[in-house]
Amino acid sequence: MRINPGNKSPKVISASDAAKLVKSGDWIDYGTTLVQPDLFDTALAARKEELQQVKFRSCIAMRPRAVLEADPEGKHFFWFSWHFGGYDRAKHDAGIAHYIPVNLGEIPDYYRRFNDPVDVAVMKVRPADENGNYNLGGSLLWHRAVIERARIVVVEICDKLPYAYGEHCCIHHGEIDYIIEGNDLACPQLPSAPPSEVDKAVGKLIAAEIESGSCLQIGIGGMPNAVCSLLQHSDAGEFGVQTEMLTDGIIDLYKAGKVTGQHKQLDVGKSVYTFALGSQYLYDTIDRNPDFLCAPVEYTNLPHNVMRNNKTVAINNTTQIDLKGQAASETAGHRHISGTGGQLQFVRAAYASEGGKSFICLSSTYERHGKRESRIALNLTEGNIVTAPRSDMMYVVTEYGIVNLKGQSAAERAKLLISIAHPDFREDLARDARNNRLIPKHYI
C-alpha cells in the first residue's frame, strides 16, 4: 500500500488548487472510464497557457476532456490512451490522441516492472466508508498499480459511482494526498444498440455451442450481447462469468437467473470483472451486490489465471479476417479504432481451459463509400494491425456459419473461411486463394 509523504491526513483543496500541482513535463494519470476526473480536468484546462509538454495516460474517455477541448492543436497537452472509445478515436482523427499498444492484462506490470512515471494520479472515488476506504466504483483495472507508483495522488469525490465489492477496490485514506469535494454528476453511460438481424444470426450459432456450466467472457458489441440474449432462453442451465468488461448483456443474463457461477473453479458463485460500463441499469445492479466481484485486470485477464476455470468461453468481435486466419480487430487501415484490449489474452485462455472455446465473430460484409465489401479478404487492408494471430484462432463465426481453424492447414483455413464469407464474394476469394497458392491448384 502507498503511504503519502509524511503519513499526513489528506488535504481537502479546490479543483483549481489541485490543478496547480501539475508542472510542465509531468505525466498525469486520469484512469479509465467512470473514474476519470471532471472538476480537476476543467481546472487544469484553464492553465493551458502556463504549461508545456503535459502528458496524460487514460483509457476510454466517456466524456469530452477539457484539456483536449482547450488545446485542439495539441501544443500543450498530449493524450495517450490504453484503449480508444468513440471520443478518443475522434481526437486521434484530429491528431491529438495517441494509442499505447498493449495486452490490457499486462498494464499493471508496466507501472511496477518498468517504473512508468506518474507525477500526478487523479481519479474519481466514492465518499469514504467508516474504515477510511474510498471505493473506485466498479472500475479497477490497473488503478492500484497507478496509486502505488504516483508521486501525488488526488481523488475527486463522486457519490454517484456504484459501490463495487472486491479486495482491491478501494484507495485508503492514508494513500491520498489531496481530496477534491466532487459534485453529483451522473455516471456516463454506454447505450447498447439493439442487435441487428446479422447479430442475431451470429449469436444463434455461438449460443448453440455453449454448454451449461461454461464460464463466460463477453466482449463489447452487438454480437456478444446477442449471445447473452439468446442464452437467456436456451436449454443450457446456468453459467459463470469471468470477464474484462461487465456489460448490460451479462446483467440481463444474471437477472434471468442464468448466471450463478456454481460450476466455476475460481470465485465460486461470483461474477468477476475488472470494469463495468453500460447503462444506469448495470450500475444499479452491481451497487453493493455481493454476487459481483471487481478484481484487478491482471487477475481477470492473464491467461494462466483465466484458464483455471473449466469451459471458459471467450466471445469477441473483429472487423476483418484474411484467408490465412489473422484477425484485425482494432484498426481500419492506418486509422486506429479501439485497441487490442483483452482479446488476445482471452482467446488464448479459452483455448487453454479444459473444454474451453474461443469465438471471433464478424458480419460477412460492410459498406465502404457506398459499396459493399467482404470482411473476409485475401489480405488485410494495408495498415491493419493483427490482433489475434492465425496460430491462435479457434472458432470464427459470420451469419453464414461457424468454422474451427485449430489444427487446419493453410489451404483448409482458406477454404473454411471462404465457406462462411458472403456468397457474392466466395468465387472471387477462391480464385484469389488459388492464384496466390493458399489453396493448391488441384486441391478439392
Confidence of residue 2 (pLDDT cuts 50, 70, 90): low
144 close to 108: Cβ distance less than 8 angstroms: yes
Report all structural domains of the chain as residue ranges with CATH numbers, in order of start: 9-180 (3.40.1080.10), 197-435 (3.40.1080.20)
Query: Is 70 exceeded by the pLDDT of residue 401?
Result: yes
* Structure confidence by residue, pLDDT tens digits, 66-115: 999 999 999 999 999 999 999 999 999 999 999 999 999 999 999 999 98
User: Looking at 156, 244, 330, 399, which residue is catalytic?
Assistant: 244
Write down the pLDDT at residue 37.
Answer: 97
Mean pLDDT of 322-347: 96
Q: Is the pTM of this model over 0.85?
A: yes
Question: What are the grid coordinates assigned to 267, written together?
Answer: 470465485
Write down the pLDDT at residue 424.
Answer: 97
Mean pLDDT of 332-352: 96
Is 244 catalytic? The answer is yes
Query: Is 70 exceeded by the pLDDT of residue 1?
Result: no
Confidence of residue 167 (pLDDT cuts 50, 70, 90): very high
Confidence of residue 4 (pLDDT cuts 50, 70, 90): low
Give dist(CA 117, CA 145) in Å, integer: 11
